[in-house]
Amino acid sequence: MATSAHQTNIPAALTALVPRLREICGEDGVLTDLSRRRVYESDGLTYHRATPGVVALPTTTAQVAAVVSLCAEHGVPYVPRGAGTGLSAGALPHADGVLLVTSRMRRVVEIDPENECAVVEPGVTNLDITRAAAPHGYYYAPDPSSQQVCSVGGNVAENSGGAHCLKYGFTSGHVRGLEIVTPSGEVVELGGKATGAHGYDLIGAFIGSEGTLGVATRVTVSLTRSPQKTVTLLSAFTSMDAGGEAVGAIIAAGVLPSAIEMMDALAIEAAEAAVACGYPAGAAAVLVVELDGPTSEVDAQVERVTELCAASGSFETRTASGAVERALIWKGRKSAFAAVGRISPAYIVQDGVVPRTALGEVLGRIAALSAESGIRVANVFHAGDGNLHPLVLFDDAEPGAGERAEEVSGAILDLCVEHGGSITGEHGVGVDKACKMPRMYSDDDLTTFDLFRRAFDPAGIANPDKLLPTPRLCGERPGVRTGVHPLVESGQAEQF
């Protein structure tokens, strides 16, 4: 494979590196062939594309360290990549750099029920941890809906959460130890099987750093005891306001569900058309509420939540505790993103956060934005923690429609910031939102972030041009997503 003909495509700066990369990762661990490199040209946000200069597929920490050291020695940028499901172009390759893919580091090193933890390599999928822990009565709590595919390394880099993070929190609350390779190629072990470590909380600061502080090569995660009982409720309302009121009432009553999800009429209509989920007819809003824990507590909470929904104007509440019935309730919610793809040729998925008490107001403003612009917006979101995922629909065949949709989508983010929220609750900043960081943070805040980054990466080779705005990056105009995500289409992942 390593003929010079294949290598002519490789940027000149990298040709000297290739033989050394092959020494480190083996013949099959280095991809130089253009067609094979192209496989990695984007992550889950497919409209940002770049062909990686060269792809390295290490199998051990020592190999990762050697690859990174080589990059450091030559001043070549590198980009870590897990499963490539990220939705902010965090794993967008560098055309003149090395793409360091963890997909061959997939060992579950240890399941340790006595210490209620697991030790895994970064390429292990999120769901594989739960699969390995299940026989012992445990599971891995953070559950991004891409969990069948996404890697633990990616979860660490994005501080991923899932529908159940309302109660169980994000990745950062479940990582006890990290082995990392720093941007200079040094292997550092942080923490271990105890929770916390002495000294600065570098684990806490590394989680969510989007590959800019180094590569996670081994992760020790907490395992959570599977709950005694889980109940899922579906409650239907005649208005979004009434649904929102129920969310506030549940929280105010001191009940902490593991998930509270909400869908509006357009999202329900799409889900109904796609998977016939059989949600109550005439619902302008539905809530999916999940409660888990000891049976004696859950039973009382189910009763309480049912009452609170009724008091807020719910006209029907269904309850399910068996796995099959629960899956039926979740079906509509989980299929919503893909379903919207069927009622619209294209859409943009936004990810923003507002304080829960501002939900009603912000949803009203989004509806007004939609009415003014004539652009439809479907709302499917994590209501319990105010994490909105508005889907902005448009027809990509229509000239200018994409730009108009992009404007609406951007205006929604502005609304989030204006109400004291965040520009991203789970998808991260990556390339996609780097230029939006100044909407949320002052120059002083951003230079402080940069001070921290430089402590790890003084040479600026670790996933450069991500997370923080740079002039090079922010001159470019963002694009739009068209159609349904390929992973969703192929049934490998649910987006919600």
Partner 1 sequence: MKDLDVEGVTLWKGTEADAVCGVVPDRVARPKDTEALGRLLAAARATGATVTPRGGGTALDWGSPPRSLDLMVDTSALSWIDHNAGDLVVEVGAGTPLAELRRTLADAGQRLSYDPLRVGGTVGGALATGVSGPRRLLAGGLRDLVIGMTLVRADGVVARSGGRVVKNVAGYDLAKLHTGGYGTLGVIASAAFRLHPLPPAVRVVSVPLRSREDTERALADLRATTVVPAAVELDRDRLCVVLEGTAEGLVPRVEETLRALGEDGAEVAEELPEDWGLLPTEGTLARVLAPPAELPGLACDLDADVRGYGSVPAGTLYLAFAPGTPADVVEKRLAAVRHVPDRTAVLLRAEPHVREAGVDPWGEVPGLSLMRAVKDSFDPDHRLSPGRFAGGI
Site of interaction with ligand FAD (CB under 6 A)? 43-44, 79-87, 90-91, 102, 122, 144-146, 150-151, 153-155, 157-158, 160-162, 210-211, 215-216, 426-427, 463, 485, 487-488, 493, 495
Q: Which is nearer to partner 1, 26 or 438 (CB)?
A: 438
Structure-block tokens of residue 236: 């239907």
What's the CA gap between 408 and 392, in Å, rounded?
7
Report how far Cα 56 is from the mean position of its chain's Cα atoms.
24
- Tell the smallest beta-carbon distance from residue 468 to partner 1 (Å): 8
Task: For tokens 């999800």, name the residue.
Answer: 261
> Of these, 228, 282, 322, 371, which contacts partner 1 (CB under 8 A)?
228
CA distances from 441 to 28, 61, 423, 457, 468 (A): 44, 35, 10, 22, 11
Is residue 302 a contact residue for partner 1 (CB under 8 A)?
no
| DSSP-assigned beta bridge partners for residue 235 | 287, 317
Is residue 188 a contact residue for partner 1 (CB under 8 A)?
yes
What's the CA gap between 260 and 287, in Å, rounded?
7
- Tell the smallest beta-carbon distance from residue 39 to partner 1 (Å): 27
What's the CA gap between 246 and 234, in Å, rounded?
12
- Tell the smallest beta-carbon distance from residue 400 to ligand FAD (Å): 27
Task: For tokens 């271990």, name the residue.
Answer: 192
Is residue 432 a contact residue for partner 1 (CB under 8 A)?
no
Return the one option of partner 1, ligand FAD, none that residue 293 interacts with (CB less than 5 to 8 A, by type): partner 1
By beta carbon distance, the residue nearest ligand FAD is: 154
Structure-block tokens of residue 314: 């719910």
Return the one option of partner 1, ligand FAD, none that residue 197 interacts with (CB less than 5 to 8 A, by type): partner 1
From residue 331 to residue 370, what is the string marking binding to partner 1 with x (rule CB under 8 A)? ----------------------xxxxx-------------
Query: For residue 382, what is the enclosing H or E element?
Result: strand 377-382
Dihedral over Cα of 440, 444, 448, 450: its sign: positive
Is residue 243 a contact residue for partner 1 (CB under 8 A)?
no
Report how far Cα 58 is from the mean position of its chain's Cα atoms.
24
Per rule CB under 8 A, count of chain residues that contact partner 1: 86
Q: Which is nearer to partner 1, 170 or 337 (CB)?
A: 170
Q: Which is nearer to ligand FAD, 287 or 484 (CB)?
A: 484
Report how far Cα 190 is from the mean position of its chain's Cα atoms.
24
From residue 90 to residue 129, what is the string marking binding to partner 1 with x (rule CB under 8 A)? -----------------------xxxx-------------
Structure-block tokens of residue 474: 């922010």
